[in-house]
Chain A
Amino acid sequence: MPAKRTDVSHRTLRELADHGRWLAVSTVTQSKAGHIGGPLSAMDLLVTLFFDELRIRPEEPDWPERDRFILSKGHSAIGLYAVMALRGYFPVEEVATFDKGDSRLQGHPDMTRLPGLDASTGSLGQGLSVGLGMALGARLAGRDPRTWVLLGDGEVQEGMVWEAVHTAARYRLGNLIAVVDCNGLQQYGWPAGTDDRGDRRDPWAGIALGPVFDAFGWRVHEFDGHDYDAIGAAFAFARDGAAGQRPTVLLARTTKGRGLSFAEGRHVWHTGNATPDQLARARTELGIDDSIDDSIREGIDDGGAA
């Protein structure tokens, strides 16, 4: 079983995630349009994937043997861009071009513009099928890369997802790993009731997704998507199944808008623009100061990144 690529400390991952959250919220606020809640709920997962789990070479984004990663919930693009920038795919300063003319950082991920993106996404429910094709291709050719697909729990309402869930199990693709960011809210959602997550009803109120995936033949692991011990254990669970015959789904329980007290658990922060006051609060709550770049860099070096 291939080892994970690094062993970055949890303190460093936490700082990276805070920095990523800050990049996301400050960029969206500056461009006056974009998504906040989803990028923040997925941030701890993204950071751990890109800094601690995926076999990738930011300096050689087309490396054929890299693990593939697809952000199926493409509207969380700013979260992915923030993490890719921190990981070294492009300068952090480029994040500010998000959504501007001629930018490589489109509102939804565009693989034709930005090296390092393995798929274009934006219409929900499509990423798992693309990942299925990649996993199938790797398996047909007898190659090692694993394919990771990050979905939203609202997105999993799309029928196409279940077409892929069915087919991946039939082709016994252990090298396909779905991570579902279960932040419990969608853009507008169903009115509040007895199954609330935040201020709206859960996208899957009354339905346990784990047993549904299990019934389709998938390996299932549920965990806290903001706890680095739990995330590490979940990724280890996926790693253990990668050479096997069953695809893996990791159901990450998360909080929409995680990290910003004024946004957590509130569906209106699916998108949104922070006021100057809120932005100042965000900076404080995320512990952002001018030395953060250096501190993160040192932390990664300490963690033994190669």
Chain B
Amino acid sequence: MKAMREVWGRTLTEVGQTDPRVVLLDGDLANSTKADIFAEGLPDRFLQLGIAEQNLVGTAAGLSTMGYVPWLSSFTVFFTHRALDPIRMLVAQTGANVKIAAAYSGLLTGLTGKTHQDVQDLAIMRAMPGMVVLAPGDAAECAAMVRWATDHDGPVYLRLARDPAPELGMVPADDYTDGAVHVVRPGRRVVLVSTGVQTVRVLEAADLLAASGVDAGVVHVPCLKPLDDRRLLDAVGAASLVVTVEEHTVLGGLGGLVAEVLGEHGTGARVHRVGLRDVWGESAPNDFLLDRYGLSGPRVAEAVRAALA
């Protein structure tokens, strides 16, 4: 179990130590997002911008034109909702070399409730031309993506999870390839497609399904954009049922992406989407939330069985 935010803060500090272009701009949440690791390691390149996320994004856009690589630290909601206009105008439309580290994404945001649970961010960011949208499955993949994103010239949105999660153990810690799609577990009849830390829970569901005689494959999509259709089509193969699972609304995120690609290519596979079905979340412990919103391993397995019935 490793905390993605800790790894993000530590990796970014390492990257900053060798790359003088890297600066970190915080919206007064460094001790939550773990940008504080960078603040202690590289205090001269840590910039506190206060509780003002629109200005945070705008300042980053300006800094990027002066040769810096600004990474931003705040909660997901404050980027994709409060600061969406500057992200759209100043970062996406200009192709600014700005990296948005969206901490506390999804439902599991530490008893904060629906105000802080961002379950629309993937849909919003996917709709931005020029934006790279990444959702690492574990801490190792997160570290690799921090390195990749810093070297990539252009805007990157990195969706981070708050709480420690098991390692997927499938990505070498020092490697991320643009647009990667991973077949974590092969399967013929049913393929579960997931993103971010939800993939760990989907693997648990696949174990439960296997135990009851259902051979379910698992595909991990850590990069929602840009995505080469062919990679996704190859990964799901000839499965007749594709179940997408995401800690996000089923509208426009991973489920939307997979349905669009499979539909457009006429594969004939049925797509069933698991995620928040057009509802808001609530304040509760993680286990409660995962069960209530159908994202725990057992609940995902249940959804797959129902779809097969």
A residues at B contact (CB < 8 Å): 68, 110-112, 118-123, 125-126, 128-138, 140-141, 147, 159-160, 163-164, 166-167, 170-171
Contacts and interface: CB of A to CB of B under 8 A. Distances in A.
Interface string B39-57: 0000001010110101101
A137 B63 contact: yes
A136 B47 contact: yes
Contacts of A122: 89
A132 B59 contact: yes
Contacts of B47: 136, 171
Interface of B: 23, 45, 47, 49-50, 52, 54-55, 57-68, 70, 85-86, 89-90, 93-95
B156 to A, nearest CB: 17
A133 B61 contact: yes
Nearest to B86: A126
A159 B83 CA distance: 12
Given A129-B57, A129-B59, A134 B89 contact: no
Nearest to B94: A120
Nearest to A122: B89
Nearest to B49: A167
B86 A167 contact: no
Nearest to B63: A133
A126 B58 contact: yes
A139 to B, nearest CB: 10
Given A164-B58, A166-B52, A134 B90 contact: no
A92 B62 CA distance: 29
Given A130-B61, A170-B50, 18 more contacts: A118-B65, A120-B89, A121-B89, A122-B89, A129-B54, A130-B90, A132-B62, A133-B64, A133-B65, A140-B68, A147-B62, A160-B52, A160-B86, A163-B50, A164-B58, A167-B50, A167-B55, A171-B47
A171 B23 CA distance: 15
Contacts, number: 103
A119 B62 contact: yes
A40 B68 CA distance: 36
B138 to A, nearest CB: 33
Contacts of A138: 66
Given A136-B47, A166-B50, A123 B89 contact: yes
B61 to A, nearest CB: 5
A137 B70 CA distance: 10
Nearest to A145: B66
B63 A136 contact: yes
Contacts of A134: 62-63, 65-66
A166 B67 CA distance: 24
Contact of A129 (B58, B66, B93): B58
A146 to B, nearest CB: 13
Given A137-B62, A137-B63, A137-B67, A160 B55 contact: yes
Given A120-B90, A137-B67, A167-B55, A129 B62 contact: yes
Contacts of B62: 119, 129-137, 147
At the interface, is chain B mostly helix, strand, loop or mixed? helix
A164 B60 CA distance: 12
A129 B63 CA distance: 10
9 contacts: A112-B94, A119-B65, A126-B86, A126-B90, A129-B57, A129-B86, A136-B47, A140-B23, A163-B50
Contacts of B49: 167
Contacts of B50: 163, 166-167, 170
A268 B95 CA distance: 35
Contacts of B60: 133
Contact of A167 (B59, B66, B89): B59
A170 B47 CA distance: 11
Nearest 4 CB-CB pairs, A to B? Answer: A133-B62, A129-B58, A137-B66, A163-B55
A48 B54 CA distance: 31
Contacts of B61: 119, 129-130, 133
Nearest to B130: A112
Contacts of A130: 58-59, 61-62, 65, 90
Contacts of B70: 133
Contacts of B89: 120-123, 126
Nearest to B44: A140
A133 B45 CA distance: 13
A284 B50 CA distance: 52
Nearest to B47: A136
Contacts of B94: 111-112, 119-120
A46 B204 CA distance: 63
A213 B52 CA distance: 18
Nearest to B93: A120
Nearest to B64: A133
Nearest to A123: B89
B35 to A, nearest CB: 17
Nearest to A131: B62
A174 B23 CA distance: 21
Listed residue (B50, B60, B68, B90) with the most chain A CB atoms within 10 angstroms of its CB: B90
A123 B89 CA distance: 7
B74 to A, nearest CB: 13
Nearest to A70: B62
Nearest to B48: A170
A123 B85 contact: yes
A110 B94 CA distance: 8
A167 B25 CA distance: 12
B95 A129 contact: no
